[in-house]
Structure 1
Amino acid sequence: MGRTRTLLFIALSLAYPLVVYTMLGRFEPRWLAVLLCALALLRAITTRERLWLWAALGTGLLAAWATLSNAALPLKLYPALVNGVLLLVFGLSLRFGPPVAERLARLHEPDLPPAAVAYTRRVTQVWCGFFVFNGTVALVTALWASERVWVLYNGLIAYGLIGALFAVEWLVRQRVKARAHG
């Protein structure tokens, strides 16, 4: 059951910008806040980590703001909130270790050599930079761009950038591994 909730949370989060964009003209923002409430509840019941509970609370506050004000802005701020939380998760892992990329790498290779540990630290730093950039653009599009530009960036371009970063990192990792073994 926990896996189903997690998958539902991921699917709703990915579809969120498109759903908000398509429904804003049909429903008042206060009714779309139900989607934010669902995301907050799913996040809260799928985690035991304090930081993710805070993320759920932040999402709930955005939903309450949208409900009370009947404004679209709180709905559009959700992608910026997600990037801020991911920046915190990755950034705190650099400070208090092990870095997120190292934890993920150890799932496949528990005994990482020191060079790989240093590499995963750098990868985590790169993701932190990405979350700063992406969160800033998400915030700017929420505050000052049209809804069409907001959904284009947050519902398409941002996902393309994430995919590109994954692909580039994978290519770099292959070269780093080849150098280490050759």
Structure 2
Amino acid sequence: MTTLLASLLLLAYPLIVYFGLGLVEPRWLAVPLVAVALLRAWRQRDRVWLVVAAGTLVLAVAGLLANAAWPLKLYPLLINAVLLAVFAASLYSPQSVIERLARRMEPDFPPEAVGYTRKVTQVWCGFFLFNGSLSLLTALWGDAATWALYNGLISYLLMGVLFAGEWLVRRRVRAGRNHA
């Protein structure tokens, strides 16, 4: 339950920052961010989340010390950078991230699907690079509303479009494979 709550709070983070900036100083918005990130890292006990928690702590301390919003706005960039690193590193291992996920859902994973999952992993790497870049641009040069709109809605919609598009392509590839 606490992991779900932490996940929902992190998803809503851009909106919390946007509305919170009108109510409290930026330094006070850093405190719940650190608490949620540390809670999630503690609950997950995963290296990736420990890296995210450490990066979050750095951003939050910068926000606390400077009493500025810009370090807090870099959190979505941090998430994209970590995910890009994880997905890209998996391309140099025997199984890509997408292949590992696919094998969990489909125990009889066909060998010919390995190439497809590598391509999907590469597409996600491109997405994280693109999304992280736009997140950085909105954090540094956009106003609070633009930052919140992109990072709290548009980026999630783009991710949903990518998920849905990949699902449709995968169905088509499977249908072609089953008819061959």
Q: TM bucket by the smaller chain?
A: over 0.9
1:112 to 105, 109, 131: 109
Verify: 1:23 aligned to 2:20, yes or no: yes
* Residues 120-160 of structure 1 deviation map (CA, whole Å, 9 limit, x = unaligned): 11111100000000000000100011111101100110011
**What's the TM-score, normalizing by structure 1?**
0.94
1:77 to 61, 74, 78: 74
- 1:16-75 CA-partner distances (Å, limit 9, x unpaired): 000100010110001000121123212320233323211110001111111111000011
Distance 1:179 1:23 in 2: 51
Tell me how many residue pairs correspond in the alignment: 179
Shift of 1:9: 2.3
1:9 to 6, 9, 28: 6
Which residue does 2:131 correspond to in 1? 134
Instruction: Check conservation: 1:39, 1:59, Cα contact below 8 A.
Output: no
Residue from 131, 146, 150 that aligns with 2:147: 150
Q: Which runs of 5+ in 1 are unaligned?
A: none
The structure-2 alpha-carbon separation of the partners of 1:9 and 1:98, relative to structure 1 and needing over 3 Å to count, comes to: farther
Partner amino acid for 2:18? Y
SS in 2 for 1:111: coil
Distance in 1 (CA, whole Å) between partners of 2:5 and 2:95 is 28
Q: Per-residue CA shift, 1:80-128, capped at 9, x if unaligned?
A: 0000011011111111242111111111211211221111111111000
Are 1:42 and 2:39 counterparts?
Answer: yes
User: Does structure 2 conserve the Cα–Cα contact (< 8 Å) formed by 1:12 and 1:39?
Assistant: yes
Would you say the 8 A contact 1:36–1:62 is kept in 2?
A: no
Alpha-carbon distance in structure 2 between the residues aligned to 1:33 and 1:92: 30
The amino acid of 1:140's aligned partner reads L
C-alpha separation between the residues in 2 aligned to 1:49 and 1:33? 22
Taking a change above 3 Å as real, the CA distance of residues 70 and 53 of structure 1, as seen in their structure-2 partners, is same
Cα distance in 2 between the residues matched to 1:6 and 1:84: 22
Moved over 6 A (4+): none
